[in-house]
Structure 1
């Protein structure tokens, strides 16, 4: 019994080898754009296939692209390449397409309108197989609003002249009430949804008695409550600089507009050395009085040890504070008195100032380089 079983197994192996030794080809390799709809999954040796481009693509060659399944189970080589057809981008849209003048088959253009404009037409368009767009670009039409209604006991002042019964999106106006009343809101406009701002309510408004500001005073005002749009003017004490609007106004909210601030002068905080101020090179002792106004610049002289030259660094007075540059070294009394010609301000000026350090509050200045 054993020899018969062995013979049967040998026959099965031989049969399997005979059946599987025949080569076949799988589906041909294809690139983008080649039509796969007619291709089979398995081909016999010697079978031929003609490759074509699918709709919306152009072949790289006019010659027939026939490939054959070879005895090795491989396909002969094909030179066919399919490129998508192109749709010309409308000229007005080319800047939005970063200068491109064409888009490939199946591309989609999405359209939107700015706020305050409504779209007339389709909001997207697709590049078709024949090089045309599925939809033309839409139009964006400005929203119109009905003319605004004036407040009771008041009127409207338009920013631009209007005609007809409508106004365009973005156009604005001011509401005014008959004195001494104030509108609950002062501005209105034609909004993106096609509606105009609702008119305000005219009401009595008063602001509290104005108060003085530090280091300043009210130039002229009756010390009483003030009505809507009444004004008060401020000024600063001597050597203080006004920062902000000199006049404040009583607002429709019953509050004053922002008061100005009086910025303090600065003292140059060195005892010995030379500075550059108001277009002049001065010894600190000659700065009389020792006072720099807010916003003014002072240059201090520093030493470039590597080059043995001096360079100026500017600092700005800011409300009573004048930072001294970190590079500045105040000379001792003997050096200042007997060897002043060796100070950074008196030696040769550097051709270029070194970069300011990351912690330095000052910046390079450019005063004259002659002593």
Structure 2
């Protein structure tokens, strides 16, 4: 047998590594082969050497950590097997290995720096606790914090030790210690109400009074007393068996059958509406606990108004026989030549009768193609057209005034939006005037028998009279101008008439001769109407002017009509001034009311206020009302369906009074709750009134609405109130207000 030794030597490049055999630069493998006959050739050496090789890459920069740093310089590349060390910032505690290694092109997980805890004074006050051992600096993650309850509060010791966990502390909460022989809140009998809001009641001093709800009666004493930590036997509120009186009457309806004087519980009556009235609700009403359930309502029918339909340019689409019942649908249509405005949907022509009222739709005149505006009117002519619009091809006729003759066609035609050329009315040259008019106590000086256009005639007065007015008149268009008057020299006027809200300018004389005049002036903000001058004629004064009153806006009338002023007015609004109103938010003009009716003139101190109606909400509500000292828990939206609700919550230490939820009912929110303020003890008021607190635990930041605080007088002082027993008194916090009792010094 021959033995052969085969020595194999391998050398690795620097960028390769050997798996499972260690980190070697050279590896020697020894292979043996045995043969029985040395003369035989060496058999093929069968060995299977399987070594796995893998090319690897370096690691990049190590990852950063929150609240910590890498110790030393950070490189751009690290070879496999390299490591870095981490360190946390001050007061942060390292969790995990501080080292991270480069393995298989990736870094092992770095450590985590746990945040410290910071004590919160507000949270400790709220939970009635304080630190047992004063802590210098911050509290590290994992450290145990020991708290203790404040004086007057208690908690098992095991619950007062809390660990700091990643910057957070779960504060324990201490509760008020019980007083000796005191009682907890009293048991409230079913169907009763009690006047106590305190959470603790003293032995032998506390008495609470019980009152039964409506329709229930008391069985037993109406008070409970606190005795040795327990309440005396509570009374019971048992239901009263009450009969009902006669059932309520309803408008536009009757009760079927006879009406009795008294009905036993469970009895019922039936209602029936008058003709054409529709019953809304149950026809039956039941006697329950001495009270009748709500009777039905008889809804009024509607009667169509011809005037309202004419005013709104509409008519009924289908003739209705008889009355229109509540809830019935009435279909209207626009009259010929009218249509709905582009912003109005055709469905608004179908209207429901609602409790005797109909909201009439409104139609506007159709636009006509190639129509013309009112025609131009020639001077000294008259025209027979009063229309504001004329169709293409329409003709109007022109007629000249008296003593004028027509030049051109006597008609104008509307053609493609424009009128044809208008004619002219020119004066007739041969028109003459008759004899000049006669006057009393005077006469015209005539020098002709015929007077042409432009001729003039002069007048003179008899002796003892003088001329008032123009001394000559002229002939024009066949007519004389107004002649003068002849008045006596001796006729005088007395003082001029006084006017309301105005005065005569200058002094007033006892007598005025014929032809004299005075001037009037109105008071501030009053507008003068008519001529400001009055003349003395034949012993009488001509009519004086009138001072028109200004207008004052009436807030009550505007509120009643759901309107407000669009533009703010400085000072008073004078007679004739235009006042522009607008509807308040959530209100609008009725469809039958023109927008121009929001502009109103002041007329002699009177304003005709327009009226706006509530917009139809269609059962939806706007955002709910906000409350003082509280918030809406849920997120708000722009509109709410009927039946929706929102929940309110009061700020800390505030007492919620009322229902915590508000509901949307037919577009209106039910009343929200009220958050009543807590009371704060005033040591200044206590000192001023010679008071001490009876209990140390009452010396707290806030006393809730309804809670009591007990005081007693300082030494050598006594309470002023004679009705108070001894020198102690309990005061109730009422909506943030404490009424402090007053103690005064005793006489020595």
Please say whether Structure 1 and Structure 2 have the same fold, judged by a TM-score greater than 0.5: no
| TM-score, structure 1 as length reference | 0.37
**Larger radius of gyration between Structure 1 and Structure 2:** 2
| TM-score, structure 2 as length reference | 0.20
Which of the pair is proportionally richer in strand?
2
